[in-house]
Amino acid sequence: MAKPHSYKFCFGPWNLSEGADPYGPPTRPVQSFDWKLDQLREHGFEAMMFHDDDAVPDIDSKSSAQLVKEAKSLSKRLKDAGVAAEMVAPRLWFSPHTIDGAYTNNDPKCRKYAIERSLRCIDIARAMDTDLIVLWLAREGTYIRESKDARRCVDYLVEAMDKMLGYDKKIRLAIEPKPNEPMDHAYLPTIGHALAVAQLTRDPKRVGCLIESAHALLAGLDPADEIDFAMAFDKLWSLHLNDQNGMKFDQDKPFGSNNLRIAFNQVRTLERTGYGRHGEYVCFDVHPFRPTQPNHWMDHLVNSRQTFLRLLEKARSFDDKQAQALVKDRNYQALDQLVIEHLLGK
């Protein structure tokens, strides 16, 4: 195992959400951005992640010059607070132009909108001193199989990424795969799909990925294996740790909330592969449970960070030598119990 290093933590303004779901209204009042920034600093987080319109609201009604001006002013506020902007992600799922997809929309005018919007997102990222653009491809997929040509959609995805890579020679694209929700089936459901598409772009070195634990679980995969796979390509550029109870809606539960062992194995893999050594952040894409009262609003983030740090101790104190001996002896029954006893505190 490599020499221990310390991790840097991050979350986004949307992770202090107000509790609205498809069945009911918010359960907490809206808080200001400054309040969120103060909370972030007070609780041991070093960076904030942004959607383009978290950084600059009402993007589509503003000129490029205005967007850059507002992004620069936000960047100054962050710098004054000693907080980095980790990434900017184009929100390609709200506009009337992205109702049936953004880059893979059947309508060329809508695809054009999605690319233009992504270039504005790059302008914002540049003004905020980050080279990382995250692509969660929310509506790139289908509700019914017959509605789009999946073969052609691969070309559309590559074309959009090529436009972004050509627009700015320094930016890096991190694809955040998710197999479903809001779509029935998404076109890039796993890290394997994301890294395969990266190879088709004009600059594969600048197209990597972001793994979200819940998204991997929704694809029926172990997030630790997804991490190892991405690290084998040196392409894990960001991470959304959280948890998920089975194959249902995307729950964004606190890290480790549902399955401590799956969480332990993610931390162990991050340690083993050296994630974070090149400045990558550990981000928590978690939401408060809807019944959460305003005075407990930060707890899901504080707890996720705490659980991560506790599991880091567990990863560092795991008896690897004994584990290796058991592997050699093919005694997986004893190895299984070794992990369980370790997690239980023996």
Residues found near ligand XUL in the complex (CB under 6 A) = 51, 89, 134, 136, 176, 178, 212, 240, 250, 285
Closer CB to ligand XUL, 89 or 110, in the complex: 89
**Contact flag: residue 91 with Mn ion (CB under 5 A):** no
Closer CB to Mn ion, 187 or 318, in the complex: 187
Point out which span in 137-145, 232-240, 313-321, 326-334 binds Mn ion (CB under 5 A).
232-240
Q: What, of ligand XUL, Mn ion, none, does residue 250 touch, CB below 5 to 8 Å by kind?
A: ligand XUL
* Residue 54 is among the residues annotated as catalytic for this protein: yes
**Contact flag: residue 250 with Mn ion (CB under 5 A):** no
Which own/partner contact pairs does 15-18 have at CB distance under 8 Å and 24+ positions apart?
15/284, 15/285, 15/286, 15/287, 15/300, 15/301, 16/288, 16/297, 16/298, 16/301, 17/287, 17/288
**Contact flag: residue 243 with Mn ion (CB under 5 A):** no
**Contact flag: residue 212 with Mn ion (CB under 5 A):** yes
Q: Are strands 236-241 and 207-212 parallel, antiparallel or unpaired?
A: parallel
Catalytic residue (choose from 52, 53, 54, 243) = 54
* Residue 287 is among the residues annotated as catalytic for this protein: no
Kindly state the smallest distance separating residue 320's Cβ from ligand XUL, in Å: 32
Exposure of 324 in the CB half-sphere (CA atoms within 13 A): 4
**Contact flag: residue 86 with Mn ion (CB under 5 A):** no
Q: What, of Mn ion, ligand XUL, none, does residue 178 touch, CB below 5 to 8 Å by kind?
A: ligand XUL
Sign of the alpha-carbon torsion through 68, 74, 79, 85: negative
Closer CB to ligand XUL, 136 or 275, in the complex: 136
Q: What, of ligand XUL, Mn ion, none, does residue 36 touch, CB below 5 to 8 Å by kind?
A: none
Cα–Cα distance measured from residue 20 to residue 78, given in angstroms and rounded to the nearest whole number: 28
**Contact flag: residue 252 with Mn ion (CB under 5 A):** no
Closer CB to Mn ion, 270 or 326, in the complex: 270
Closer CB to Mn ion, 252 or 271, in the complex: 252
| Full 3-state SS string of the chain | CCCCCCCCEEECHHHCCCCCECCECCCCCCCCHHHHHHHHHHCCCCEEEEEHHHHCCCHHHCCHHHHHHHHHHHHHHHHHCCCEEEEEECCCCCCHHHCCCCCCCCCHHHHHHHHHHHHHHHHHHHHCCCCEEEEECCCCEECCHHHCCHHHHHHHHHHHHHHHHHHCCCCEEEEECCCCCCCCEECCCCHHHHHHHHCCCCCHHHEEEEEEHHHHHHCCCCHHHHHHHHHHCCCEEEEEECECCCCCCCCCECCCCCCHHHHHHHHHHHHHHCCCCCCCCEEECCCCCCCCCHHHCCHHHHHHHHHHHHHHHHHHHCCHHHHHHHHHCCCHHHHHHHHHHHHHCC
Q: What, of Mn ion, ligand XUL, none, does residue 85 touch, CB below 5 to 8 Å by kind?
A: none
Kindly state the smallest distance separating residue 94's Cβ from ligand XUL, in Å: 11
**Contact flag: residue 285 with Mn ion (CB under 5 A):** yes
Closer CB to ligand XUL, 213 or 269, in the complex: 213
Closer CB to ligand XUL, 250 or 280, in the complex: 250
Give me the active site residues, please: 51, 54
Q: Which residues bind Mn ion (CB under 5 A)?
A: 212, 240, 285
